[in-house]
Amino acid sequence: MNPLNAVRRGLIAAVPVCLVVVAIIMVRADSIETSAADVPAGLGGQTATGWIGTWIIITLAFGVVAASVFDYLSERWGWNGNEYLSFAAALAVSLSALAFLNMYDGEMHPFRFEYTALNFAYAFGFGCGIPLLTRTDTGVKIVKTRAGQTPQ
């Protein structure tokens, strides 16, 4: 696959995921700003606006990486969209479980609900979007033949 196609597909798939990420942050803005004041260093700063800017940049970059990973897995192991979606969902469950463990100074992560929502937004957004864009990008061409002739 062409690396520029992976970049293009990753950025296109990231647009709806960015919208979901912004919605999640806006819904949880009060909780984010309250918890961020108690956390010495947080990803995105202490305001919801800072979180939105940070997570949009992360989502765009992650879309490009996710498209490249899909290309690699489909070429190397012949993965299709269902396998990639299952992999993404399993990864979201695993990463979300880490946020609920009591390993942050004996407590759960302060942004466990936000990170869980973001994990599943990424998993289903990129897990469905990238294979769909890859399928339309390659354009499966149907070859019509007459009886007894082989397709060319």
Evaluate whether residue 71 is within a structural domain: yes
pLDDT at 103 (0 to 100): 80
Radius of gyration of the chain (CA): 19
Evaluate whether residue 132 is within a structural domain: yes
Evaluate whether residue 151 is within a structural domain: no
> With left for phi above 0 and alpha for psi between -120 and 50, is residue 50 left, alpha or beta?
alpha
pLDDT at 96 (0 to 100): 93
Q: Is the pLDDT of residue 136 over 90?
A: no
pLDDT at 110 (0 to 100): 81
> Which structural domain, as residue segments, surrounds residue 27?
3-137
- The model's confidence at residue 139, banded by pLDDT at 50, 70 and 90, is low
Number of folded domains in the chain? Answer: 1
Evaluate whether residue 80 is within a structural domain: yes
User: 150 CB contacts (<8 Å, ≥6 apart)?
Assistant: none
Alpha helix segments (H runs only) across the chain: 3-27, 29-38, 48-76, 81-99, 112-138
pLDDT at 21 (0 to 100): 95
DSSP-assigned states of every residue in 60-95: HHHHHHHHHHHHHHHHHS---HHHHHHHHHHHHHHH
- Whole-prediction pTM: 0.81
Summarize pLDDT for 40-65 with one digit per residue, the tens: 655 667 788 888 999 999 999 999 99
Evaluate whether residue 43 is within a structural domain: yes
Evaluate whether residue 18 is within a structural domain: yes
Mean pLDDT of the chain: 84
Closest CA to 110 of 39, 58, 51: 39
CB 59 within 8 A of CB 14: yes
pLDDT at 93 (0 to 100): 96
Q: Is the pLDDT of residue 143 over 50?
A: no
Evaluate whether residue 23 is within a structural domain: yes
CB 59 within 8 A of CB 121: no
pLDDT at 120 (0 to 100): 97
Evaluate whether residue 142 is within a structural domain: no
Summarize pLDDT for 4-37 with one digit per residue, the tens: 888 999 999 999 999 999 999 999 998 888 877 7
